[in-house]
Chains A and B, each alone.
Chain A
Amino acid sequence: MDKIKSLEDLKRVREEALKKREAKIVTGQKQIIVGMGTVGIAAGARETLKAILDFIEKENLSDIVVRQTGNIGLDSWEPIVQVIIGDEPPVTYGKVTPDVACRIMKEHVMNHTVVKEYKIET
């Protein structure tokens, strides 16, 4: 990789991100956590995570924290995704395929409506 060229690109990327952040009214922080234990990975968690990242890129969504976590002991529900918006209690979703992940992003993360069919009661 051409290090200098890519670092210059990054400066521009950073400035654009900063501009957008200033223009935006700060709402509650949004966190998305994907279970990435062995079972989660085998069940397709990487593709689920990728679909979430692609959605963020495509819809140009700012200020969303995306994280991974290890096994959480709900193997038969993998891949598992948890959504936390501001001070609201976390919502845990199971069997989150890439398509389901896009629905969760659209309906829950963007429009604050829980996707009930995939919610796990914990």
Chain B
Amino acid sequence: MRELALHLLDIAENSVSARAKNITIEVIEDTRTDRLRMSVIDDGCGMDADTVAKIADPFVTSRTTRKVGLGIPLLKAAAEACNGFLHIQSAPNLGTRVDVEFQRSHIDRMPLGDLAGTFLGLLIGSPEVHWIFRYRIDDRQFEFDDAPIKQELEGILLSEPEVLKFLRNTLESGIQEVQSASRRL
């Protein structure tokens, strides 16, 4: 995977598989400290300490269809190659928090990629989850909480064409605003 947004999609899919009801995704870029941090915070089924300790090992996975899980180990290696880290905090029945951080300007740091596409895919693909997306560069922040939208729609599918257009525009323009505001500085 050559985009941070794709890795984010992969981690968030783990949260969905862990039957989380609420998932928050944060991407925070700080140009002053030169860091880029991504966090996925869920209230899913969580993992015990043993599993967390082994999770960066590619030969550990909870899947039963195949014995090797590579999502987290690859992202951890990518972060560590960019003066960063990947941390997992988790507790059974409480949830999981994954934080991954990079040196923002590091030459090997993957581009952020299509963040709006990742958010839209999660929102539409797992409508039973309450999603909160936050994207910040320095002091400029975009926050998207799907709860008021779902309430307003009262059961209308998120994949209705008018709704899709609205969601896509909201996500794309929100992310673009944050990025163009930071470029002006």
Contacts and interface: CB of A to CB of B under 8 A. Distances in A.
A67 B6 contact: no
A71 B154 CA distance: 31
A68 B129 CA distance: 12
A10 B166 contact: yes
Given A1-B143, A46-B6, A41 B161 contact: no
A62 interface: yes
Contact of A46 (B9, B17, B63, B149): B9
Contacts, number: 110
Interface residues of B, number: 44
Interface string A37-58: 1100110001101100100110
B125 A36 contact: yes
Interface residues of A, number: 41
B9 A17 contact: no
A38 B16 CA distance: 13
20 contacts: A1-B144, A10-B149, A11-B152, A13-B166, A38-B70, A42-B1, A46-B121, A49-B125, A53-B124, A59-B161, A65-B159, A67-B125, A67-B126, A68-B121, A68-B122, A68-B125, A70-B17, A72-B65, A73-B66, A75-B66
Minimum-distance CB pairs A-B, first 6? A68-B125, A73-B65, A38-B71, A66-B159, A17-B160, A13-B162
